Amino acid sequence: MSEPEYREVEAEERRHLLRSFGYWDIVVLGALMGAGLGFLYGHGHGSRVEAWRVFAGMAIGALCALVAGWVKVQGRARERFFTRWAAERQWHYEAAGRPFEDTPFLQSGDKRRASDFFSGFWPELGFVLYQHKRIVGSGRDEQVTNYLVLHFSLGRPLIDLLQISPRSRAAELEAKLFGRLSGLGERIELESAELDQHFRISGLRGQEDELRRLLTPSAIVRLLDFQRALPDGNARFEIVGTNVAFLVEKTLSPKRPQLIVELLELWRPIAVWLTEEAGPEAQPPATVGESRPS
Amino acid sequence: MTPVDVVLALLVLVGLLVALSFNRLVRLRNKVNEAWQDVDVQLQRRHDLIPRLVEVVEGYAAHEKELFDELTRLRSEAEQASGAAAQSAPESELATALAGAVAVAEGYPSLRAAENFLSLQKEIATTEDEVAAARTIYNGNVRIYNTRIQTFPVSFYADLFGFEPAEFFQGA
């Protein structure tokens, strides 16, 4: 099998749609319905039925059907492309599923959505990588942030809670002024000033020594290397027992699937370090929809 | 508001900024010291591994005595030095000699297969990684701290409050 090209898959889907009789039937049906609505609208607003209203309705109806077809092509092409792309790497792809909610940040936000699940082994570590949408607020105040999440399980629990989140001066000022902390845990300051500039590290109260033992100088250097490689990624790392989630603020696009490989490569030293710390046996990858508390 | 009030307000503001900056400098200096403690711990781990390496290898390669004597001498020199700048050269020499000794030991097939040598070899590799990482963190802290005290406006009063530039650790 050769590496699939998204443009080819998309063009193939478009050709398939244009060749299908059903599609043109729907376009004609859309035009007829639009014409009917235009007629009814004109009839309701005066005694004379103006031809332009019927034609405008017809055009709008046909256009809606064409756009719906185009959206369908995009969706199908995306799914087919990612399935083939994942199969090339002996991974599995699912377009939809429930988001993981087993770490504090993955649980946060008013609503959560998930899509584009990739699961498999990389190289020996079982993982699930997916697109996580965190939604805060509603209506016009709704804020949606897209994260690419790498989720995997360790052989044994490493620590009750470790959160490494991007340092936000605004959030810290808010915490100082109103005593409100966005994270769950107690803040821990490590010896690196550079790490302190970029990340806020927290763990459970009373577990500071355990965290310090875990975050050795070489672990800190790995985190800093990641930060330097992806300075605008708003990277987060979370460990809760055996569950590990790495997040970056990125949107997955079939036009640039290499982003997945690039991120996996960047995450790799940190993931290897964690699996070594936890023990050599990594658990098999969780399948989509499995072991996810709702 | 009279001009005196304006001057007083400005003085209070400047005083507040200096106080905040002073606290930040103290925090940075503490970070430099903390990171140096880490480097020191890792260097001590390296020093502790040398007698163990000599002991393990001597049993298999007694005629490499010169090499072990040199290693012991360099270890003692490195232990006598104090401070980041002073320790840089002896630690580099010691690291090179240690790598050389491990390479020589690897040349003995019976030693290469010995369980205690293998575990020691792994421990040396881990320690060297940790030394390198601790050095990176320490030098990073020194860079941030030195830049802070040598740039305007902190450079005006850093010296006054006794904030001296920290030394980089160039050793391996």
Residue of A nearest to B137 (CA): A192
A220: contact with B, CB 8 A cutoff: yes
pLDDT of B112 reads: 79
Q: Rounded to whole angstroms, how far apart are CA atoms A58 and A30?
A: 7
Q: B135 CA to chain A: closest CA distance, Å? A: 9
Tokens of B136: 């990176």
Q: Rounded to whole angstroms, how far apart are CA atoms B143 and B32?
A: 9
Query: If contacts are CB pairs under 8 Å, which of residues 21-80 in chain B contact chain A?
Result: 28, 31, 34-35, 37-38, 42
Q: Rounded to whole angstroms, how far apart are CA atoms A149 and A132?
A: 7
CATH number belonging to domain B3-158: 1.20.1440.20
Q: Which of A192, A201, A226 to mutate to test the interface with B (most CBs of B within 10 A)?
A: A192
Q: Does the beta-carbon distance from B31 to A221 stay under 8 Å?
A: no
- Asked whether the beta carbons of A191 and B35 are under 8 A apart, the reply is yes
Q: Helical H runs in A99-246?
A: 104-107, 169-178, 193-198, 208-214, 217-229
Over the range B29-49, which residues count as b (16 or more CB within 10 Å of their CB) and which as e?
Answer: bebbebbbebbbebbebbbeb
Exposed / middle / buried, residue A130 (Cβ in 10 Å: 0-12, 13-18, 19+): buried
> What ipTM did this prediction achieve?
0.82
From chain A, pick out residues whose CB is under 8 angstroms from the CB of B35: 191-192
Residues whose CB is less than 8 angstroms from the CB of residue B46 and which lie 6 or more positions away in sequence, other chains included: B94, B95, B98, B124, B127, B128, B131
Helix (H, G, I), strand (E, B) or coil at A19: helix
Residue ranges of chain B with pLDDT lower than 50?
A: none
- Asked whether the beta carbons of B100 and B172 are under 8 A apart, the reply is no
Query: If contacts are CB pairs under 8 Å, which of residues 130-149 in chain B contact chain A?
Result: 130, 132-134, 136-137, 140-141, 144-145
From chain A, pick out residues whose CB is under 8 angstroms from the CB of B38: 191, 217
From chain B, pick out residues whose CB is under 8 angstroms from the CB of A195: 137
Write out chain A's pLDDT in tens, 294 residues.
577 888 888 888 888 877 776 777 888 888 888 888 888 877 776 656 677 878 888 888 888 888 888 888 888 999 999 999 999 999 999 999 999 999 999 999 999 999 999 999 987 888 999 999 999 988 888 999 999 999 999 988 989 999 999 987 776 676 666 655 555 568 888 999 999 999 999 999 888 899 998 999 999 999 999 999 988 888 999 999 999 999 999 999 999 999 999 999 999 999 988 988 887 654 445 554 444 443
Q: Does the beta-carbon distance from B144 to A194 stay under 8 Å?
A: yes
